[in-house]
Structure 1
Amino acid sequence: MSRITLITGGQQGIGLGIATALAGAGWTVALAAERPEDDPAVTEALGALPGARYFRHDLTDIAAAPGLVERVEAALGPITTFVSNAGVPALSRGDMLEMSADSFDLVMGVNLRGGFFLAQAVARRMVDTPAPNYRAMIFVTSVSAELVSVERAEYCLSKAAASMMTRLYAARLAPEGIGVFELRPGIIRTAMTEGVAAKYDARIAEGLVPAGRWGVPADIGAAVLPLAEGAMAFSTGAVIPVDGGLSLHRL
């Protein structure tokens, strides 16, 4: 039976790192994002991932979630690994006392509400369609699920809630033999962090990250592989930092 993965936001950054790792290990990859099919990032990703398919989907359109699952499975077969990766940052960094409702609603709408209901649609289909292969759901959150950044409070709130979402799905799906995991990336060099690259270059040089370097998308992809393959099946619900030691408590 083919191993099919659906990855939200898989056309770039961390999502593309995950897609590359899974495709290299034999998975058939489905990428989902709200960008048009002819977007340069999409066409470049498809060119780098032989056999991958792209499905346009807006996470904030909750009613469309079951339809995305149906489209993917009609084209490729049953989803065996779901990676909830897509997310958006705050509209602008700044004093949380000045945070706008628009920024709060955008971040929570994509990072939490949209992620939850697409995961729900995937989980329902997995439960209703038993499969011989191991299946997993992997939620990419952030060290911001625990570490406080007052200049982007809405992002931290969304990731903290997504962390609880992971545990809820882990508890619900464990009896079905479906593993659920949370990955918490640290400072990863992607388009999302380009605007603060100079700041983090300096802070990493000062020792902020014990490993002494930025993370890269391939670091996240390498962490996903054993989770998707079932090597950590009895660890369902685990929270796995991928941050070079950033989240370690130090004196």
Structure 2
Amino acid sequence: MLDDAMQPLAALVTGGRRGIGRAIAVELASRGYDVAITDVVDDEDTALTLRAIEDQGRRSLFVQANLQDVASHTRVLERVLAWCGDLDCLVNNAGIGSPARGDLLDVTPEAFDTVLGVNLRGTFFMTQAVARHMLSAEPDRPRAIITVSSVSATMASPERAEYCLSKSALPMMTKLFALRLAHAGIPVFEVRPGIIRTPMTEAVAQKYEARFKEGLVPMNRWGEADDVAKAVGQLAGGALQFATGSVLQVDGGLSISAF
């Protein structure tokens, strides 16, 4: 392994194949990170993201994995560390929406378990694995763990009950890991996007366009994946280390209580 003075920065972005994950991976690459991404799917989007990282002059790696499969986390992390030697930044971006929007009285145990299995359980145990590694390495350079959650962490959408519940636990997860890792100087943050234009929101784009006209979002526009990526990039570099445990809202004012 190269010493810290020579070794490039390295980041792992879960769910980095497209959308917000891709934008984050490219943003981190532009800031000097070699970037590994994971996703459950390996397709043309994966190749496009790896190329976009390399276009920034950095190395890229794809590891196909399902975040819900906690038993695979050790394999994923070992593969990433064999490639980069050390890990300076984890971005918990992978997540899934509700399998079907509808009455919360109709939510099935299967849908509930699947969504929480990815968005909460998988995210928690991936963070745990990376935190253990970071504590064992302790290099003299900036490190960070950043979780991309959602305004649904605090804003209720009854037609997406299991999704909202899965996101509502991530603020507490951020606080817990921030306290656990503070002594080692590893800040932990939550980035909370609002309505972002991504493949995940394509199916409900017309609904949101209509709501924008009604004033749903004070800035009166879609959020873009780059809006989230820029926020993550700022948090990753160590400049805001003393703000560990903080939440950064990236929602155009959507979550501001007003009357």
- In structure 1, what is the Cα distance between the partners aligned to 2:197 and 2:66? 25
Shift of 1:176: 1.0
1:16 match:
22
Larger displacement relative to structure 2 (43-52 or 111-120): 43-52
Matches within 5 A, 1:220-239: 220-239=228-247
Q: Residue 189 of structure 1 contacts residue 215 of structure 1 at CA under 8 Å; is this kept in 2?
A: yes
- In structure 2, what is the Cα distance between the partners aligned to 1:47 and 1:2? 18
Matches within 5 A, 1:80-99: 80-99=88-107
2:3 match:
none
| Secondary structure, aligned partner of 1:123 | helix
Give the aligned residue type for 2:239: A
- In structure 2, what is the Cα distance between the partners aligned to 1:167 and 1:28? 27
Shift of 1:131: 0.7
- In structure 1, what is the Cα distance between the partners aligned to 2:138 and 2:239? 20
| Secondary structure, aligned partner of 2:187 | strand
1:125 match:
133
Unaligned runs of 5+ in 2: 1-6
- In structure 2, what is the Cα distance between the partners aligned to 1:154 and 1:125? 31
Give the aligned residue type for 2:147: F
Matches within 5 A, 1:20-39: 20-36=26-42, 39=43
Total equivalences in the alignment: 249
Shift of 1:188: 0.1
Alignment pair present for 1:40 and 2:40: no
Unaligned runs of 5+ in 1: none
Alignment pair present for 1:5 and 2:11: yes
Shift of 1:124: 0.3
Give the RMSD, CA atoms, in angstroms. 0.8
Q: Residue 30 of structure 1 contacts residue 54 of structure 1 at CA under 8 Å; is this kept in 2?
A: yes
Normalising by structure 1, we get a TM-score of: 0.97
Matches within 5 A, 1:1-251: 1-36=7-42, 39-50=43-54, 51-251=59-259
- Aligned-pair identity (%): 49
**1:141-194 alpha-carbon deviations (Å, 9 max, x no partner):** 000000000000100000001221111111111111101000000000000000
| Secondary structure, aligned partner of 2:222 | coil
Shift of 1:21: 0.8
- In structure 1, what is the Cα distance between the partners aligned to 2:69 and 2:100? 23
- In structure 1, what is the Cα distance between the partners aligned to 2:171 and 2:20? 18
Normalising by structure 2, we get a TM-score of: 0.94
Shift of 1:249: 0.3
Give the aligned residue type for 1:152: R
**1:77-108 alpha-carbon deviations (Å, 9 max, x no partner):** 21100000000001100000111111101100
| Secondary structure, aligned partner of 1:131 | coil
- In structure 2, what is the Cα distance between the partners aligned to 1:25 and 1:59? 26
- In structure 2, what is the Cα distance between the partners aligned to 1:214 and 1:34? 27
Q: Residue 6 of structure 1 contacts residue 29 of structure 1 at CA under 8 Å; is this kept in 2?
A: yes
2:4 match:
none
| Secondary structure, aligned partner of 1:237 | coil
Q: Residue 183 of structure 1 contacts residue 239 of structure 1 at CA under 8 Å; is this kept in 2?
A: yes
| Secondary structure, aligned partner of 2:223 | coil
- Give every structure 1 segment of 4 or more consecutive aligned residues whose post-TM-superposition deviation is greater than 3 Å: none
